[in-house]
């Protein structure tokens, strides 16, 4: 069921709209992400789906039942700056978006927690590095 006009405000509301399989996959992915990301990183509903942010966007979980994700079935786990991640195992697909790299899960059994944790840690490293670079550039500008 694709929802076009609804503005999802909460995880409870999101879960009510999802088929059971997508709800389970989404819930497991959320647990992995929340256990891995630092506490100061935020989870919110954005684009009507779970969205995670540190200094910049980190990742998004997009069930196919929610309009706008561009997938017909399953649940997409997208890394916002996937193009900057060192994905040595080639776990993520690159698709047509040059920035967001992703993996689509159609069953709970496809979820590889170790691979996801490894990519999340890499995303945290990239996020923290970009924050340091930004702070360094701001400090240089102040000195000029």
Domain residue spans of the chain: 11-143
Contacts by residues 91-100 (CB-CB < 8 Å, ≥ 24 positions apart): 91/115, 91/119, 92/119, 100/60
136 pLDDT above the threshold of 70? no
Write out pLDDT tens, residues 22-52: 999 999 999 999 999 999 999 999 999 999 9
Greatest CA separation for the chain: 57
Tell me, what's the pLDDT at 1?
47
142 pLDDT above the threshold of 80? no
Least confident span in 21-25, 67-71, 73-77:
67-71
Angstrom distance (rounded) from CA 30 to CA 25: 9
Q: Among residues of the chain, what percentage have pLDDT more than 90?
A: 81
19 pLDDT above the threshold of 50? yes
């Amino acid at each position: 069921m694709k929802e076009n006009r609804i503005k999802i405000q909460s995880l409870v509301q999101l879960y009510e709209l999802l088929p059971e399989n997508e709800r389970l996959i989404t819930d497991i992915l959320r647990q992995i992400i929340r256990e891995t990301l630092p506490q100061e990183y935020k989870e919110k509903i954005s684009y009507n789906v779970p969205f995670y942010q540190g200094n910049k966007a980190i990742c998004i979980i997009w069930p196919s039942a929610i309009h706008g994700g561009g997938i017909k079935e399953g649940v997409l786990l997208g890394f916002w700056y996937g193009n900057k991640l060192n994905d040595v195992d080639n776990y993520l697909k690159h698709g047509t978006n040059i920035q967001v790299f992703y993996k689509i899960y159609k069953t709970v059994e496809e979820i590889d927690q170790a691979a996801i944790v490894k990519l999340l840690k890499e995303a945290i490293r990239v996020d923290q590095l970009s924050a340091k670079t930004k702070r360094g550039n701001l400090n240089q500008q102040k000195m000029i």
